[in-house]
């Protein structure tokens, strides 16, 4: 029997009461497995530019990659269309599902589209033009916005650094109820698994980060370095809610994939995810609400940067920056408003070079090493302890402790984006598309 490789991208398949795109994808995986699909990769959970204003709850888009008998391929989209209809509430105006289907190799243009979707905004019109140009089959509902994420997901095969997430789903009839994910079990999992997992707990607040808070079907998600690790880790978790299904995703979460482009200040555009290389020009100033605002400049211009109150200790670190410090600001570009111009929302800072801060102080007494007092204008200094006089003394320079290091600083895990490369992954890269899948990577 002849077979062909299929790549399915899907996005925005959700509604307030029924679910989210990853949950829908788990139903599709179950269906396709029964239908004879041979999986060539884990489902890919692709996080896109997190600054896009219209996205629902920061949901990731999903790509499924598999081999299927050639004569079954034409039935795929009609079947999926029915599945979407059964799944979403189409009277909910914020659901705009989109699915794209690519047969065989992913065109280079689509790969480039995906790279752009990580840090820029892409219009629906441009997306539709790309679909037409490459004759890519697709289905959509609502205003069709889901096609943007669907095409972006299908074109991103995660050929470089990637991570895994084990997502457990609860039965849909329990959606309104508390999840009851046991904090002690999360702490125990974290202790045993160590650096094989990331972003499970915010250590400072001891807050558990694996369970979401909305009414969606996700019970919890465990992020880690490989599929076997996240599957083993899940066996530690206890919860009040039962698990209806679970699945392992391969993902760009925790890889910093949105922050690969260094952009001049003059070239910044609203909603961009960018790294800006600049020098502190305006020292940090705390404004109402506890947000720290500072200004940077480069050869092309200057811009205000904001570190928000919820970033806690990160915001406090920002206030120690001083004029002349050289930094790489990891930023989300916030559009101008009536009260402020284009602003960088700071989601990380790499300090490249700290300037020396100097304080001028009176010299020390050569006899007793005590700091001397001024003996009056133009009269030098005197020691109040031993009476030593220094009639022609001058002030001396003392370097102030900066309390900062030349390294990357990030907000605490509770305030990080899904895509943020956390400190525990700073020097870690998982390379390559896996050749084999774990024996058990989804249930049912
Ligand atoms: Zn003295």
**Residues in the chain, overall count:** 444
Q: How far is the CA of 361 from the centre of ligand 1 (A)?
A: 16
- CA angle in degrees (0–180, nearest 5) for 49-24-250: 55
Find out whether 231 and 38 touch, Cβ atoms under 8 Å. Answer: no
Q: How far is the CA of 11 from the centre of ligand 1 (A)?
A: 76
pLDDT for the residue numbered 379 = 87
The pTM of the whole model exceeds 0.85? yes
Q: How far is the CA of 314 from the centre of ligand 1 (A)?
A: 43
Q: How far is the CA of 383 from the centre of ligand 1 (A)?
A: 5
**Of 25, 19, 440, nearest in space to 234 by CA:** 440
pLDDT for the residue numbered 442 = 95
Q: Which residues contact 4 (CB under 8 A, 6 or more apart)?
A: 67, 68, 70, 73, 103, 104
Q: Which two tokens stand for residue 8?
A: 């399915």
Q: How far is the CA of 382 from the centre of ligand 1 (A)?
A: 8
Residues of the chain with pLDDT under 70: 15-19, 55-59, 90-91
Radius of gyration of the chain (CA): 27
The model's pLDDT over 393-433, given as tens digits with 9 standing for 90+, comes to 888 888 889 999 999 999 999 999 999 999 999 999 998 88
Q: How far is the CA of 390 from the centre of ligand 1 (A)?
A: 10
Helix, strand or coil, per DSSP, at residue 196: helix
Q: How far is the CA of 368 from the centre of ligand 1 (A)?
A: 4
Find out whether 225 and 162 touch, Cβ atoms under 8 Å. Answer: no
Report how far residue 433's alpha carbon sits from residue 442's, in angstroms, rounded to the nearest whole number: 18
Q: How far is the CA of 141 from the centre of ligand 1 (A)?
A: 84
Q: How far is the CA of 358 from the centre of ligand 1 (A)?
A: 24
Q: How far is the CA of 392 from the centre of ligand 1 (A)?
A: 16
pLDDT for the residue numbered 310 = 92
Q: How far is the CA of 187 from the centre of ligand 1 (A)?
A: 57
pLDDT for the residue numbered 56 = 59
Q: How far is the CA of 168 from the centre of ligand 1 (A)?
A: 72
Find out whether 200 and 209 touch, Cβ atoms under 8 Å. Answer: yes
pLDDT for the residue numbered 54 = 72
- CA angle in degrees (0–180, nearest 5) for 145-148-151: 140
Strand spans (E) along 183-227: 201-202, 207-208, 218-224
- CA angle in degrees (0–180, nearest 5) for 194-200-206: 100
Q: How far is the CA of 247 from the centre of ligand 1 (A)?
A: 74
- DSSP symbol at 256: T
Q: DSSP readout, 283-329?
A: EEEEETTTEEEEEEEETTEEEEEEE-GGGTHHHHHHTT--TT-EEEE
């Amino acid at each position: 029997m002849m077979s062909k490789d299929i790549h399915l991208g899907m996005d925005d398949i959700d509604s307030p009461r029924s679910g989210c795109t990853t949950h829908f994808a788990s139903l599709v995986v179950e269906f396709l497995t029964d239908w004879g699909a041979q999986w060539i990769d884990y489902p890919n959970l692709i996080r896109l530019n997190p600054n896009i204003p219209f996205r629902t709850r920061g949901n990731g888009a999903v790509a499924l990659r598999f081999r299927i008998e050639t004569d079954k391929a034409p039935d795929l989209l009609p079947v999926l269309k029915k599945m979407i209809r059964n799944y979403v509430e189409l009277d909910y105006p914020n659901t705009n599902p989109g699915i794209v289907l690519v047969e065989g190799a992913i065109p280079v243009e689509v790969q480039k589209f995906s790279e752009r979707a990580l840090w820029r905004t892409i219009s629906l019109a441009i997306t539709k033009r790309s679909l037409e140009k490459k004759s890519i089959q697709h289905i959509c509902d609502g205003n069709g916005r889901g096609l943007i994420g669907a095409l972006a997901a299908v074109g991103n095969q995660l050929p470089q650094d990637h991570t895994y997430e084990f997502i457990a789903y609860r039965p849909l009839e329990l959606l309104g109820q508390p999840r009851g994910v046991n904090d002690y079990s999360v702490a125990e999992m974290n202790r045993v698994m160590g650096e094989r997992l990331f972003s499970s707990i915010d250590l400072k607040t001891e807050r558990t980060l694996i369970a979401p808070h909305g009414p969606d079907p996700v019970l919890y998600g465990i992020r880690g370095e490989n599929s076997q690790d996240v599957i083993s880790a899940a066996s530690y978790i206890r919860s009040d809610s039962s698990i209806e299904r679970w699945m392992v995703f391969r993902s760009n979460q925790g890889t910093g994939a949105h922050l690969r482009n260094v952009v001049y200040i003059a070239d910044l555009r609203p909603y961009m995810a960018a790294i800006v290389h600049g020098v502190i020009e305006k020292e940090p100033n705390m404004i109402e609400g506890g947000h720290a605002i500072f200004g940077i400049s480069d050869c092309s211009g200057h811009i205000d940067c904001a570190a928000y109150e919820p970033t806690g200790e990160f915001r406090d670190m920002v206030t120690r920056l001083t004029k002349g410090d050289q930094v790489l600001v990891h930023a989300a570009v916030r559009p101008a408003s009536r009260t402020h111009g284009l602003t960088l929302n700071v989601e990380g800072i790499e300090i490249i070079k700290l300037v020396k801060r100097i304080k001028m102080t009176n010299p020390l007494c050569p006899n007793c090493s005590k700091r001397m007092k001024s003996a009056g204008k133009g009269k030098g200094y005197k020691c109040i302890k031993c009476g030593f006089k220094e009639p022609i003394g001058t002030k001396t320079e003392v370097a102030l402790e900066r309390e900062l290091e030349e390294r990357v600083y990030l907000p605490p895990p509770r305030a990080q984006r899904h895509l943020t490369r956390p400190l525990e992954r700073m020097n870690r890269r998982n390379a390559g598309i896996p050749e084999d899948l774990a024996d058990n990577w989804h249930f049912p």
